[in-house]
Structure 1
């Protein structure tokens, strides 16, 4: 999967690094990408063993699956981060992963060091999870090899001492900041945080709809059952696709430039939106 395809992916499914029997299942779930998690999903006493096992585990996967595989390492400043960077360099050199998710991202320097370890072929996904990360968001978004920003809304609330309800109205400006920073840096649309109860279909639907309205292009998932509904909710509908096809056809017939469609001007930003909707629809496999 190319970086462009990962930029269009709508679902990123977490799977524990120390449960290798689940890695292939996560990749077969229909998710756009699987995030093998060395951070929250692995207890401190199991991290070293999980890290040591991953090169062989990933090496056994087909190349097409490794191209949809991201690794979430431990955050800068933790006792495990330096060893995780060594692992990243090893995996990236073997083309065993497509990229790295960096938790608690708070500076461009952290991303530069990670990019150096990962090499030029790997993409980076910084998680904004703190006030410091939000303050540095433009520098983080502009750092080398960053593909998309992601929002760790639970850690963000903990960092600020917030106690949001299910609506999370207090986080509206924070989510907007991620969308704006992504646009300023010409990144793919950002990735929203997890829905914590995978059995609550109603809340998942509400969160995915909120993400779509707010300009997010994907959502983090913690269970395979979340993948299909999130994928559907974040994709274009039939009416949007029909409109997008008409826009592209009208521009093509006019030979480019500004055209008039149904009495409304169609200029470059509108054409880009139409093209993105069609690219999302063409994405395969679903994710």
Structure 2
């Protein structure tokens, strides 16, 4: 239970008001789809979005339902309570769980977990300074499998003005804080925020590569074309896999001690990096086989 949510690299948003896009999103090659009841849905359409998603999910086979998360409206909004009721019904039908928008309190996650049921995976979306302050508590809340970063809302809340064409250096400390909070709690690596330019694969590739270097385990997507670019950044290529095997073999031949490979010292941390590369490769191969 929750293994897919823990290991997934790509999370593709789909407006719940467009149920016809759900199957297309599932066929896009992404690991998980996030059906959105929050930002993508106008206030007047919230109830219709819940009904539309329920009908769309009922028509899907069980393996497809297990790849769906629902982004619910934040605590304190008029729609949060009804979202929890609808979420519980979806989870009982096999939907994986929820992305909890604007998460700021562990108590909120306790309530969502209680409402949705023990089988629901939760991904709190850190989108505010209060959410960042509570990151450790959020990461340790029940049924939380990953933290996710809503960097656009975070900038607004913090009064920041990052260069939209640059590297968002101003947000590097925030991203690292989420990586460290996840590690302290023993969670899978967190999920980085969206790249808003859907027609710029180079920007998506740069953003994804930065996320990977910083210790993120995946990224939110808003267009199917971003999925393959994201996977290319996170999935080890043939050269990386071959090198990881060489490191593993060299240490085995050295009896587990320190050795030298290509003029460089190889020790336990290098082996661990190699094993992580092989694990990510195995996940990517499983995705290809399963897709």
TM-score by length of 1: 0.92
Q: Using the TM superposition, give the Cα deviation of residue 101 of structure 1 relative to its aligned residue in structure 2, in angstroms.
A: 0.2
C-alpha distance in structure 1 between counterparts of 2:128 and 2:230, whole Å: 25
Structure 1 residue 259: deviation in Å?
3.0
The residue that corresponds to 1:157 in the other structure is 155
Instruction: Tell me the CA shift for residue 20 of structure 1.
Output: 0.6
Q: Distance in 1 between matches of 2:115 and 2:252?
A: 44
Structure 1 residue 240: deviation in Å? 2.6
Answer 1 or 2: higher relative contact order, Cα 8 Å, separation at least 6. Answer: 1
**Paired residue for 1:139?**
137
Is 1:168 aligned to 2:171, yes or no?
A: no
Matches for 1:32-71 after TM superposition, within 5 Å: 32-71=31-70
Aligned to 1:84, the other structure's residue is in SS state: helix
| Residues 74-97 of structure 1: per-residue CA shift (max 9 Å, x gap) | 0111000000011111111222x1
The secondary structure found in structure 2 opposite 1:54 is helix
Please say if residues 241 and 277 of structure 2, whose CA atoms lie closer than 8 Å, have aligned partners that are also in contact: yes
**Cα distance, 1:249 vs structure 2:** 4.5
Paired residues of 2:5 and 2:121 also in contact (CA < 8 A) = no
Deviation at 1:130, TM superposition (A): 0.2
Residues 1:118 and 1:261: Cα distance change in structure 2 (over 3 Å): farther
Contact 1:247 1:261 in 2 (8 A): no
User: Of the candidates 259, 262, 268, which is equivalent to residue 257 of structure 2?
Assistant: 259
- CA deviation vs aligned residue, 1:213-260 (integer Å, no higher than 9, x gap): 1111111100000000111112223333223323444666788xx433
Give 2:229's aligned residue: 229
Gaps of 5+ in 2: none
Report whether the alignment pairs 1:177 with 2:189.
no
- Measure, in 2, the Cα distance between the counterparts of 1:197 and 1:158: 18
Name the CA distance, whole Å, in 2 between partners of 1:91 and 1:79: 20
Contact 1:247/1:266 (CA < 8 Å) preserved in 2? no
Task: Name the structure 2 match of 1:106.
Answer: 104
Task: Give 5+ residue unaligned stretches, structure 1.
Answer: none
Contact 2:13/2:34 (<8 A) preserved: yes
SS in 1 for 2:240: helix
Q: Residue 88 of structure 1 corresponds to which residue in structure 2?
A: 87
Output the TM-score relative to the length of structure 2: 0.91
